[in-house]
Amino acid sequence: MPTAGVGGQRIFHIQNRGLCAAVSPSRHRQYDVTEKNLKTHESVIQAYMAKYPVLPYRINTVVGERVGRGVLQKYHAALSKDLQGVQNRRQFRVRVIRRKAGPGEKPIGSLLAPSEMKARMSDYIGSAKRSAPRKTYVLKPHVYKNMVHGPLEGIADRTKNGSLAGSHTVVDSLYLVHKSQTNDFRNEYLHLQQQFQELEFFLTGPEPPYDFTSVSIVAGNKWD
């Protein structure tokens, strides 16, 4: 296992009833978020994940030693449940943006009857197979979301909404995926990217499941 963390500080362990926190001392309340520090932090987590189930926290999760020990004691049940939930799983983040409708393109979506929506979506999908389509439709974001998010959600064990917002945002979601399904998830993402070339796709991961924890540990928290 790694012996040093960010800043070259020695890694040691705090244990409580079967849980073990890998920590290192710090003279700073906050580290600089540099590429070097991020890579060091990530490499330590990945090393532990290769051997143990790990509930990861991001860089700059800094608390005092007494507070750190109190976290394991007071939130033992919640941390144990979270740990079980992320075991053997990785996190992906997918962001999808719709470009603006260009000349001759007609946005459709929220004001159509179901029968008309089905007909127009069939025409839209079919147009990709014709060399000279008569019509081009750019679907509204919430329609795209069902078509893009749905297949990815079907592979993931859990999902969460991201923070990206805007009239052209189609998807900004976090996906918790079992490590045996990571290739399936990537392949489905690439398939959707090819299918919807009028959208811009951004993928992060697989990475440790930082965002699927229920206990938030940040500098300044009081764990009395």
Determine the angle formed by the axes of helices 65-74 and 76-86, rounding to 10 degrees. 80
Peptide bond into 206 cis (omega under 30): yes
pLDDT digits (tens, 9 = 90+) for 30-57: 666 778 878 888 888 888 888 888 888 8
pTM above 0.85, yes or no: no
Q: Name the β-bridge partners of 94.
A: 173, 203
Cα dist from 217 to 61, 125, 174, whole Å:
6, 46, 20
Residue 106: closest CA among 140, 129, 132 = 140
pLDDT digits (tens, 9 = 90+) for 14-30: 888 888 888 887 776 66
Q: For every one of its 224 residues, what pLDDT tens digit does the chain have, with 9 covering 90 and above? A: 666 777 777 887 888 888 888 888 777 666 667 788 788 888 888 888 888 888 888 776 666 556 566 778 888 888 888 888 888 999 999 999 876 655 554 444 433 344 544 544 454 444 444 444 444 455 566 677 888 899 999 999 999 987 766 667 888 999 999 999 999 999 999 999 998 888 889 999 898 898 888 777 654 444 43
Residue 7 has which token pair?
Answer: 């800043």
Tokens 């075991």 -> residue: 87
